Structure 1
């Protein structure tokens, strides 16, 4: 099945802000729109993203907003305000034929990976990043975020993704505006299976996203692609603010292996995991968690996909700053230097 990378945002087009998960906070929405305006992007807020709402609109209404934005010729890109935890409920209300006939650049991640995996099944490339938190935290938009957001909006592909100079998983306090603590970025590391060629770059179409959403789709079994379409693909995973215990990630990958899915992937990209979240019910160690995660992932790859190449600690997901991971695009991972680039879908 052919994939389409929707056209870049045109000079005479606007960016639609939608709320497929939760409705916006008025202040954060205002900040996000101001920062998009500074990039030369005109924004339109669609009905379910109006900040006066206390509760999310119905799944059908949220789906209708997405369809309306996609089919509107004056809309050149659609961005989700934020994530949440129930977007899978809107998918059955979407008209896939209408979306496929009007491919539009969609930006969002976390809970929005529900919609992005739906778009993947239609052969439409979509991007990460959303209004909140990516555009509104900190006193100004991070240069790293701005660079790759511009590519996601205005260029044919992300191209080579460079390493962010520093990163954080601190929560930004909008009440105080206190600067967050930033750490030096050690950069990604790669693991190469025993039968793989460590000097040979691996390319494949990206499928996956937030670990929780991938797990939900495996459990629901309603929106998974034909397994043959995953042959030679690149599995991307990031663990979000849920910070799941490493054993849970291992169990899910093991189930994918027993299902005959894990062996189909030629590579795996793992986003840098956060270990700091106010709702956590356990206390992961910031220094130990990434290594434990890498250990269980490597173990399951050795069992089910021994030729696969895996890259750990890339700048996508729920740490800051991050690049807008393009699901459906072709990723090329070079184990020799850990470099990563994305070409058109």
Structure 2
């Protein structure tokens, strides 16, 4: 199946803000729109993202907003306000033919990976980042996020992605607006399977996203692509603020291996994991968690995909700043130095 990179946002088109998960907060939505305006982007808020709404709209209404945004020629991009935890209920109400006939650049991640995987099945490239928190935290928009957001909005592909100079997983306090503490970024680490060519770059279309959403899709088995379409693909994975115990990630990858899915991937990209999260049922060590996660991923790859290569610690997902991971684009990972680039393919 061929993939389509939707046209870049045109000067006479608006970006539609939708709420496929939760409605918007008025103040944070205003800040996000101001920062998009500074990039030269006109925004239009659709009914599901109305900040006067106390509860999420029905799944059918949220689907209708998405379809309307895609079908409207005056809209050249669609961005989710924020994530949530039930967007999978929207998918049954979506008309995939309408979306496929009107490919539009969609931005969102976390719960919005539900919609992004739905678009992947129809051959439409989509992008990470949402209004909240990516565009509204801190005193100004991160230059790193801005650089790659501009590419995702206005260029054919994101191209080469460099590591962010610093990162944080601290929550931003919107009341005090106190500066967050940032850490130096040591850059990605890589792993090459025992049967892989050690110096050969790996390329493939990106499939995946948030670990929680991938689990839902594996469990429901309603929105998975035909397995053959994953042959030679690159699996993207990030663990979100859920901070799942590494063994749980390992168990899911093992199940994918037993199902014959994991061996289909030629590469794996793992986003930098956050450990600062709401109260959890366990107490992750922020210094040890990344290595533990890397250990279970490489263990299962050694068992089920020994000719794959993997990179860990990329700036996509639930740490700041981040780049808009393009699902459906062609990723090339050089295991020699962790260099990463995305092309439309």
TM-score after normalising by structure 1: 1.00
Aligned counterpart, 1:209: 209
Q: Secondary structure at the match of 2:175?
A: coil
Aligned counterpart, 1:108: 108
Q: Secondary structure at the match of 2:228?
A: helix
Alignment of 1:1-345 (within 5 A): 1-345=1-345
Q: Secondary structure at the match of 1:93?
A: coil
Q: Secondary structure at the match of 1:132?
A: coil
CA distance in 1, matches of 2:42, 2:199: 45
CA distance in 2, matches of 1:194, 1:252: 22
CA distance in 1, matches of 2:280, 2:128: 24
CA distance in 2, matches of 1:302, 1:170: 33
Q: Secondary structure at the match of 2:112?
A: helix
Deviations along 1:88-128, whole A, 9 cap, x unmatched? 00000000000000000000000000000000000000000
Shift of 1:278: 2.0
Deviations along 1:262-317, whole A, 9 cap, x unmatched? 00000000000000012322210010000100111111000000011010000000
CA distance in 2, matches of 1:180, 1:121: 38
Deviations along 1:185-242, whole A, 9 cap, x unmatched? 0100000001111111000000000000001000000000000000000000000000
RMSD value, Cα: 0.5
Q: Runs of 5+ in structure 2 lacking a partner?
A: none
Structure 1, 192-201 or 123-132: larger mean CA deviation = 192-201
Q: Secondary structure at the match of 2:127?
A: coil
CA distance in 2, matches of 1:75, 1:298: 42
CA distance in 2, matches of 1:272, 1:163: 11
Structure 1 residue runs of 4 or more that deviate by more than 6 Å after TM superposition: none
Equivalent pairs, count: 345
Shift of 1:337: 1.2
Q: Secondary structure at the match of 2:68?
A: helix
TM-score after normalising by structure 2: 1.00
Q: Secondary structure at the match of 2:327?
A: coil
CA distance in 1, matches of 2:135, 2:152: 14
CA distance in 1, matches of 2:22, 2:85: 9
Shift of 1:341: 0.1
Shift of 1:246: 0.3
CA distance in 2, matches of 1:41, 1:148: 15
CA distance in 1, matches of 2:330, 2:287: 32
CA distance in 2, matches of 1:173, 1:277: 14
